Amino acid sequence: MDAQTIIARRIAHELRDGMLVNLGIGIPTLVANFVPPGMHVFFQSENGLIGTGPIPLEGLAQARLTDAGGRPVTAIPGASTFDSAVSFGLIRGGHVDLTVLGGLQVDSRGRLANWMIPGKMVPGMGGAMDLVSGARRVVVAMQHCAKGKPKIVRECNLPLTSSRAIDLIVTELAVIEQSGGRLRLVETAPGVSVADVLAATEAELEVPSSVPSMEL
């Protein structure tokens, strides 16, 4: 199983029936492929849609129905559309139960940087700052390291997305929980030891006496 699939499958375990969920671009989008059978989750696309369905078959794309990246999507029966003020009211107002976002760095207090690399990549924050500030629960989906360097660091040297701490980090190596401004290792991926995770992490992690293996 590749890193992205491990991460997406593990995050799918965070979904609950009836939740309103917003998935970011990249690995987070894959989570929609692993919704447990029989569970109904509302997926929001912040350009103004609840009830985002699968990518349309070729030739069946509807030009006025896209996701937040501008790609054609479908709307499932029971979907709703609305303007951007309502869409961000849903996000800031605490109506979104769970958001899954990509990350560049997370610091030892659980604060996320995921919107720019000064001088290199200045795409703009889009909806990321609102999502981290407003969603009830924020899950970061990212590879544990980038080019061999830890992404879970003591201090972010990239600009923060929000001063609010995220709730959970899921990587291909581990599940790490933030609570009280501290990070705690709660699961390791199959075949990965606690020592492996610590070696790939710069920030200090609390390690309980027993760390179970990730369910996938």
Partner 1 sequence: MQTTSLQDAVSKIPSGASIMVGGFMGVGTPERVIDEIVRQGKRNLTIIANDTAVPGTGIGKLVSAGAVSKIIASHIGLNPETQKKMLSGEIEVELVPQGSLIERIRSAGFGLGGVLTATGLGTMVEEGKRKIEVEGREFLLEPALHADFALVQAFLADYLGNLTYALTARNFNPLMAMAGKTVIVDAEHIVPVGMISPDHVITPAPIVDYLVLGD
Positions marked catalytic: 46
Smallest separation (angstroms) from partner 1 to the CB of 42: 15
Q: Residue 165 CB, nearest distance to partner 1 (Å)?
A: 11
Cross-strand pairs, 50: 44, 80
| Closer residue to partner 1, CB minimum distance, 29 or 87 | 87
H/E element holding 133?
helix 128-134
> For residue 26, which of 68, 84, 56, 60 has the smallest C-alpha distance?
68
Q: Which positions lie near partner 1, rule CB under 8 A?
A: 45-49, 62-66, 68-70, 75, 81-85, 87-88, 91-92, 111, 121-130, 133-134, 159-164
- Nearest-approach distance from CB 67 to partner 1, in angstroms: 8
Angle at 3 between CA 147 and CA 141, to 5 degrees: 85
DSSP annotation of 69: T
By beta-carbon proximity to partner 1, the closer residue of 129 and 216 is 129
Closer to partner 1 by CB, 85 or 148: give it.
Answer: 85
DSSP 8-class letter at 159? P
Nearest to 28 by CA among 72, 68, 87: 68
